[in-house]
Amino acid sequence: MAKPFPAVSAATARQRTEASRAIYPLASPIVKWAGGKTQLLKHYTRLFPAEFNRYFEPFLGGGAVFFHMVAKNPNLKAVLSDSNVELINCYNMVKNDLATVIRHLKKHRNDKHHFYRVRAMDISDLTPAERAARLIFLNKTCFNGLYRVNRKGQFNVPFGRYDNPKICDEINLRAAERALCNAKIITANFEAVVAQARKGDFVYLDPPYQPLSTTSSFTGYTRNSFGSDDQVRLVEVFQKLTDKGCYAMLSNSDTPYIRELYDGFLIETVYANRAINSKADKRGRVAEVAILNYSLSGSEDI
């Protein structure tokens, strides 16, 4: 008769997890993104629901929260989306054809003339894997890792002059490939994707923020900026998720307008280091809000 496996002590289990993490390192965002949430994760962990079914992130950007979630639960089923076609193509290529993406990425180099030549390329002439490598290359070598396009949808961020940027971080890309293996990754407007969420799913919403002033906030991720009408449509979506029994959490700037829109929900204040401002002396701690449609008892421990 087969013997049951002997019980493993907590210390041994921890050692095994650490050993497997040494072999399979955890993924972090593969692109730097305006509004990226890496620095806020330490404030967010206590705000996430302790348990949920599927995970939805409809304003994916760099996906810092997704990569955190999948590190905690490698079997997580996720639905990830963004309106940025190039970004979503990149994630799908990393998930489905990473070897080809890496092959193309290795051809790129941190050189000003090469950067402007690649930036000017007509992407309709490129394969999906070449487009993914182009996006990662431009992101690693452009000024501040920004993604910004002009009215024609052409990437227009200047060269970044970094000494030695890691253009092809093969270890992290392979970790991201593993992290994405159970994710459905879609180009879509937030409303279309969130409509698929069901009771018990967790939806984390990180839209372009409501500007603090007419000039302060960065909303140029895609050709269409995110205006007040969109903020109103978003609060309607938040209410629908609540009615369906989904867990919903939303990040935004701390303005009277946003507090009024979400009046009645739990509003937590968190502080972020402002990263996007052309004037270095204007960078500093800025209050933001995290809005929840559930109570905090039983949320994830830090």
Ligand X SMILES: C[S@@+](CC[C@H](N)C(=O)[O-])C[C@H]1O[C@@H](n2cnc3c(N)ncnc32)[C@H](O)[C@@H]1O
Least gap, CB of 241 to ligand X (angstroms) = 15
Among 33, 44, 52, 265, binds ligand X (CB under 6 A): 33
Among 48, 52, 202, 221, binds ligand X (CB under 6 A): 221
Give residues 67-96 in contact with ligand X (rule: CB under 6 A).
82-84
175: how many CB neighbours lie within 10 A of its CB?
Answer: 21
Give residues 52-71 in contact with ligand X (rule: CB under 6 A).
58-59, 61-64
Binding piece for ligand X, criterion CB under 6 A, among 47-55, 89-97, 204-212, 294-302: 204-212
Among 222, 231, 252, 253, binds ligand X (CB under 6 A): 222
Q: Which is nearer to ligand X, 189 or 242 (CB)?
A: 189
By CB under 6 A, tell whether 145 contacts ligand X. Answer: no
Report the C-alpha gap between 293 and 288 in whole angstroms.
Answer: 17
Least gap, CB of 284 to ligand X (angstroms) = 19
Q: Which is nearer to ligand X, 8 or 85 (CB)?
A: 85
Binding piece for ligand X, criterion CB under 6 A, among 42-50, 135-143, 200-208, 280-288: 200-208
By CB under 6 A, tell whether 208 contacts ligand X. Answer: yes
The single-letter code of the amino acid at 234 is L
Least gap, CB of 30 to ligand X (angstroms) = 11
Give residues 152-191 in contact with ligand X (rule: CB under 6 A).
189-190
Applying CB under 6 A, the site for ligand X has a residue count of 21
Q: Which is nearer to ligand X, 229 or 301 (CB)?
A: 229
Interacting residues with ligand X (CB under 6 A): 33, 35-37, 58-59, 61-64, 82-84, 189-190, 206-208, 221-222, 226
